[in-house]
């Protein structure tokens, strides 16, 4: 149980401690009770002694957390857009873009890995593949990239009902297009007005930022695969690079990009 503190209580503690941090607690360390850091650091259960595996596992876990955070922000933006609040949706969309930038930065921790480094532990992954990430799949569905067959691997998992719901409910892009339709406008018309009160144009730019950052993650993923395994088949049974290239051909927010041709 975390003890909550008011501003006055924090001031009183700082005065009583003469400015030094508190070092004596009656129960759990409050930081760990809130962040669950000890639990997080217990989840790196490698199957070999290879340093590359530790990097691969931890970066994968970090990315899973970023998938969840980005999904949280985009779901919030979708609800605001559904309610007609384009202005309110800007903040969570911008936060989601920053989350995706953090996600993209995680690839740097694997950029040292050569094919030899990866091959030293790759066989231990069995059929495990990022293709099987439920959080990533839900994020794709939320962005509007929906393919029903992609939920088949999860039929016996706790994630399946959530993925079915994400597949069936309107995506962030569906709600955006519905909002545009209610204004009886298209993106070309919206962008023609670059005034400070045109919240729909601002919404378009915020969505563009999300699309660019998400596209960068997909590109970095492709490069990481090419760097470590070339054109070999993927661990999960896919064609590896060929599969990723095919996936990248599906554009996020296509109408927003198409409209730029006519502006």
Residue 179 lies in a domain: yes
pLDDT digits (tens, 9 = 90+) for 193-207: 999 999 999 999 999
Band (pLDDT 50/70/90 cuts) for residue 151 is: very high
The yes-or-no verdict on residue 254 having pLDDT over 90 is: yes
Asked if residue 145 is part of any domain, the answer here is yes
User: What integer is the mean pLDDT of 122-131?
Assistant: 87
Helices (H), ranges, 230-252: 241-248
- pTM score, two decimals? 0.92
The answer to whether residue 244 scores a pLDDT higher than 90 is: no
Inside any domain, residue 56:
yes
Average pLDDT (155-164) is 94
- Classify residue 200: in a domain, yes or no: yes
User: 104 is written with which tokens?
Assistant: 């993209």
Mean pLDDT estimate for the chain:
93
Asked whether the beta carbons of 180 and 63 are under 8 A apart, the reply is no
Q: Give the three-state DSSP class for 51.
A: helix
Give the residue carrying structure tokens 């008011």: 6
Residue-level pLDDT at 90:
98
Long-range contacts of 200-205 (CB under 8 A, 24+ apart): 200/86, 202/86, 202/87, 202/90, 203/81, 203/86, 203/89, 203/90, 203/93, 203/176, 204/256
DSSP conformation letters of 174-230: HHHHHHHHHTT--HHHHHH---TT-HHHHHHHHHHHHHHHHHHHHHHHHHHHHHHHT
Q: What is the pLDDT of residue 191?
A: 96
Note whether residue 7 is domain-resident.
no
Give yes or no for residue 243 having a pLDDT over 90: no
Domain encompassing residue 215: 27-262
pLDDT for 110 equals 94
Percent of the chain with pLDDT over 90: 76
Average pLDDT estimate for 10-38: 89
How much is the pLDDT for 117? 95
Is residue 12 included in any domain, yes or no? no
Digit-coded pLDDT (tens) for 227-238: 998 888 877 777
In a domain, residue 250? The reply is: yes
Instruction: Say what the pLDDT of residue 101 is.
Output: 97
Domain membership of residue 86 (yes or no) is yes
DSSP character at residue 19 = T
Query: Which of 65-79, 159-173, 236-250 is the least confident region?
Result: 236-250
Determine the average pLDDT of the residues in 110-137: 92
Which two three-digit tokens encode residue 146? Answer: 């929906």
Q: What are phi and psi of 3, to 5 degrees?
A: -80, 120
- CATH code: domain of residue 119: 1.20.58.480
Helices (H), 109-198: 115-122, 134-143, 160-168, 172-182, 187-192
Q: What value does the mean pLDDT take over residues 145-170?
A: 94
Domain count, the chain: 1
For residue range 59-105, list pLDDT tens digits in order: 999 999 999 999 999 999 999 999 999 999 999 999 999 999 999 99
Report how far apart, in Å, the C-alpha atoms of 115 and of each of 61, 107, 155, 226 are.
21, 16, 33, 9
């Amino acid at each position: 149980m975390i003890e909550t503190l008011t501003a006055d209580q924090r001031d009183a503690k700082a005065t009583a401690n003469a400015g030094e941090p508190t070092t004596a607690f009656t129960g759990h360390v409050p930081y760990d009770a809130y962040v669950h850091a000890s639990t997080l650091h217990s989840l790196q259960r490698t199957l070999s002694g290879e340093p590359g595996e530790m990097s691969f596992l931890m970066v994968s876990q970090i990315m899973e957390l970023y998938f969840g955070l980005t999904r949280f922000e985009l779901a919030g933006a979708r609800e605001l857009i559904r309610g007609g609040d384009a202005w309110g949706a800007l903040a969570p969309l911008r936060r989601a873009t920053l989350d995706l930038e953090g996600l993209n930065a995680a690839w740097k921790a694997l950029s040292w890995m050569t094919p030899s480094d990866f091959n030293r532990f790759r066989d231990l992954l069995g059929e495990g593949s990022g293709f099987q990430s439920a959080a990533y799949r839900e994020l794709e569905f939320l962005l509007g990239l929906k393919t029903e067959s992609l939920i088949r691997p999860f039929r016996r998992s706790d994630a399946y009902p959530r993925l079915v719901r994400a597949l069936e409910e309107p995506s962030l892009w569906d709600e955006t297009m519905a909002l545009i339709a209610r204004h009886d406008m298209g993106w070309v018309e919206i962008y023609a007005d670059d005034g400070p009160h045109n919240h729909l144009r601002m919404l378009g730019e915020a969505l563009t930022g999300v699309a660019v950052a998400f596209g960068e993650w997909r590109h970095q993923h492709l490069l990481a695969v090419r760097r470590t395994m070339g054109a070999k088949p993927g661990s999960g049974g896919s064609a590896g690079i060929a599969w990723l290239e095919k996936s990248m051909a599906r554009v996020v927010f296509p109408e927003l990009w198409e409209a730029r041709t006519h502006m």
